[in-house]
Every structure is written in structure tokens, then in C-alpha cells.
């Protein structure tokens, strides 16, 4: 008979809450420092924003220890408070890591 392997050692499920605490711990532990933005990448973002004509974009940004991505049309570029708005989400300039034009919005 084949050994049942780790099936024999299935964890106790008596406390469902333990899984939530472990997930929260793993989430905290996986957090990274904000990547440094090169001057080339910063000027590339700047150029795209300066020439922006309502195309769909893909934005990479840093939030709470993780690099995220959001696609959509930039609804607002606010130079005074230094943020852009994509699909209702406000992304501050200082957290932007990259911006790519995906194409014209249909």
C-alpha cells in the first residue's frame, strides 16, 4: 500500500481562526520595501502624463508593502496634490513605479 504521506498529518481544524492569523502574519512578512525609482523611469512617467490623451494605461504602484497594478483610463491628473486617479483609485506620484500606454479606450 502506498504511504498516505502528509494526509496522515492533516492539521487540526479545531480553530478556523488560526488560519486567519497565519494568513495575516504571512501577509505582513511578505511585505517589501518600496523599490527605488530611477530618474529614467520617473521622466518616462512624467512624459506619458504630459502627453496623455485619454488612452487606457497600466499603472504599477507601491502600496502597503506590495507592488500593485491597475489598468484603466486616467480620470484626473492633479499636479497640485500630486496624484492621478484611475478607476476611482487615487495613486500618489510618490508611489507610482511605472506607467504604460495600453491603447486607445474604446
User: Which residues are near other proteins by CB under 8 A?
Assistant: 1, 3-15, 17-18, 21-22, 24-26, 28-30
Nearer to other proteins, 17 or 79 (CB): 17
Strand pairing report for 83-86 and 89-92: antiparallel
Within 30-81, residue ranges assigned H as helices are 39-50
- Between residues 8 and 106, which has the closer beta carbon with respect to other proteins? 8
Tell me how far apart the alpha carbons of residues 55 and 46 are, in angstroms, rounded to a whole number.
Answer: 15
40: left (phi over 0), alpha (psi -120 to 50) or beta: alpha
CB nearer other proteins, residue 21 or residue 54: 21
Provide the minimum distance between the beta carbon of 30 and other proteins in the complex, in angstroms, as a whole number. Answer: 7
In whole angstroms, how close is the CB of 14 to other proteins at the nearest point?
7
Residue 18 vs 46, nearer CB to other proteins? 18
Contacts of 100 (CB under 8 A, 6+ apart): 48, 57, 58, 59
Minimum distance of other proteins from residue 86's CB (angstroms) = 22
Closest approach, Cβ 18 to other proteins, in A, equals 6
Amino acid at each position: 500500500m502506498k504511504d498516505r504521506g502528509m494526509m496522515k498529518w492533516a492539521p487540526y481544524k479545531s480553530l478556523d481562526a488560526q488560519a486567519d492569523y497565519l494568513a495575516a502574519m504571512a501577509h505582513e512578512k511578505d511585505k517589501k520595501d518600496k523599490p527605488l525609482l530611477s530618474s529614467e523611469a520617473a521622466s518616462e512617467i512624467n512624459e506619458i502624463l504630459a502627453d496623455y490623451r485619454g488612452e487606457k494605461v497600466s499603472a504599477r504602484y507601491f502600496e502597503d508593502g506590495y507592488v500593485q497594478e491597475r489598468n484603466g483610463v486616467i480620470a484626473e491628473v492633479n499636479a497640485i496634490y500630486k496624484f492621478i486617479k484611475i478607476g476611482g483609485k487615487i495613486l500618489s506620484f510618490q508611489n507610482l513605479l511605472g506607467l504604460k500606454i495600453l491603447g486607445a479606450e474604446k
